[in-house]
Structure 1
Amino acid sequence: MHSEPQPAECVSVLLLWVEGSVKAGFPSPAQDFDCRPVDLANVLIRHPQATFMVRASGVSMLGAGINNGDILLVDRAITPQHGQIVCAIVDNYFTVKYLHRKHGKFRLVAADPTIPDIIPKESQTVEVWGVVTASITRHLKL
């Protein structure tokens, strides 16, 4: 069984935003960048009381940029749309997949084409729980 997560209190996390961009290809000459404080919660969270964090487990969404162990932000206030990445509950277990809708029916589709789609059966309990709005990949273990 899943337990219903509770929204966390949203606190300000001010980070310095460096104006400009960082080249991921050929390096650009170093410049004096302007910095301004930005609240990370305002950048990532649209509906604080309806946004939850979950940890991704598995590799079925690697093609969507979601790695095993990533932290996902899930917003329950957003109405899920075709093609969005959603967090769903299938037979009391959480899963993260693309939502595909067609002719009034839906299926949950992994980014990995070798993983079978989840097509709800009559006897199955499936609930689209929320929309994944961001994923956080840790590159340095703290």
Structure 2
Amino acid sequence: MEAMQTAVKTTAAVKTFPFFDVTADLPSLAQDQENRITAEELLGSTSPTVFVVKVSGPSMEGAHLPNGTTVMVDPGVRHKVGDIVAGLLNGEFIIKRILKTHAGWVLHPENPSFIPYLIKPDDEFKVLGVVKGAIIKF
């Protein structure tokens, strides 16, 4: 857990990937122009503090984050109601949707087999960042 709370090291070399716009409808000729994109740009953030974590368990399947998905978390983005956040709850790392109800803040799983969790006053809870993107392996 401490490693997730420390500064993220950056490297001098940034890997870029070929990037093409294609249609999912009918086959068409490939575009002549190749663009380049970084993983950060692909997932929507170029913040140097971004980190990635692997989702463990099925509680976020309804948000298209099945077990084994790698998510990009941006600690530089202030969370809003409805965001999927990475956080620490009583020392445990969690990824849940954060909601506000009349009773208080709720960590909401995206799987009906799991129960939403109302954050209690004596809980130690800290949002580490907002989930900005995901990489799902097939």
User: What range describes the TM-score normalised by the shorter chain of this pair?
Assistant: 0.7 to 0.9
Partner of 1:116: 115
Work out the CA distance in 2 between the residues paired with 1:126 and 1:39: 32
Give the deviation of 1:103 after TM superposition. Answer: 5.0
For residue 94 of structure 1, give the secondary structure of its aligned residue in structure 2: strand
Deviation at 1:60, TM superposition (A): 0.6
User: Structure 1: where are the runs of 5+ without partners?
Assistant: none
Distance 2:75 2:93 in 1: 14
How far did residue 138 of structure 1 move?
1.5
Change (3 A) 1:53 1:123: same
Measure how far apart 1:65 and its partner are. Answer: 0.5
- Equivalent runs, 1:71-86 vs 2, <5 Å: 71-86=70-85
> Using the alignment, how far apart are the partners of 2:39 and 2:52 within structure 1?
14
What residue number does 1:12 align with? Answer: 14
- Alpha-carbon distance in structure 2 between the residues aligned to 1:73 and 1:13: 16
For residue 118 of structure 2, give the secondary structure of its aligned residue in structure 1: coil
Flag as ranges the 4+ runs of structure 1 deviating above 4 A: none
Inter-CA distance 61–39: structure 2 relative to 1 (3 Å threshold): same
**Aligned residue type for 1:46:** T
Q: In structure 2, what residue type is equivalent to 1:9?
A: T
Aligned with 1:98: secondary structure?
Answer: strand
Stretches of structure 2 lacking an aligned partner (at least 5 in a row): none
Preserved contact between residue 8 and residue 52 of structure 1 (Cα < 8 Å): no
- Tell me if the contact between 1:56 and 1:70 (Cα under 8 Å) persists in the aligned partners: yes
CA distance in 2, matches of 1:79, 1:3: 21
Q: Within 2, Cα distance between the matches of 1:126 and 1:116?
A: 18
> What CA RMSD, in Å, does the superposition of the two structures yield over aligned residues?
1.9
Aligned-pair identity in percent equals 22
Deviations 1:30-75 (A, max 9, x none): 3132322223333332312x21111100001001010111111111
